[in-house]
Amino acid sequence: MKLRNTLVDNSASCADIIAYIWDLNDLDKKILLRLCEREATINELCRELKRTRVRIYQRLNYLLEKKFVNRKKRSLRRGYEYVYSAVPESIIRKETKQLLKKTFKRLLKIIDQKLE
């Protein structure tokens, strides 16, 4: 298990732990870290991360479902485009801590049960 090894040798980052807990893949993590720096459109993310528009769109939708990313519509001369931004890092940390606490509590209850 990759996370276990990085925890043992103290090389795990906050982003690694968040990605593991929320089941984010490498591209999700790259997109989220990039959006924490500044907002971006799909085209900007495609160019910077060298991925297809479809793939970026799929991963953005996944991050939207997790509520790690916000989307707003920006009007253009002809039509519109969506601009994506990350929710504040403090919210991601808070949600992750809450999930970890709840999960750890459940695990402790399971461990206290009789071995079967």
Q: For residue 37, is it within any domain?
A: yes
Q: For residue 15, is it within any domain?
A: no
Structural domain span for residue 84: 25-112
Query: Is the pTM of the predicted complex or chain greater than 0.85?
Result: no
pLDDT, tens only, 100-110? 999 999 988 88
What phi-psi label fits residue 5: left (phi over 0), alpha (psi between -120 and 50 degrees) or beta? alpha
CB 69 within 8 A of CB 63: yes
Q: For residue 79, is it within any domain?
A: yes
State the total domains in the chain.
1
pLDDT over 80 (residue 69): yes
What's the CATH code of the domain at 54? 1.10.10.10
Give the residue, 59 or 17, on which the prediction is more confident: 59
Secondary structure letter of residue 73 according to DSSP = E
Provide the greatest CA pair distance for the chain: 67
Confidence of residue 11 (pLDDT cuts 50, 70, 90): confident
Q: For residue 45, is it within any domain?
A: yes
pLDDT over 50 (residue 1): no
Residue type, 5: N
Q: For residue 17, is it within any domain?
A: no
CA distance 39 to 29: 15
* Residue in this structure with the two tokens 């997109």, named with its chain if needed: 31
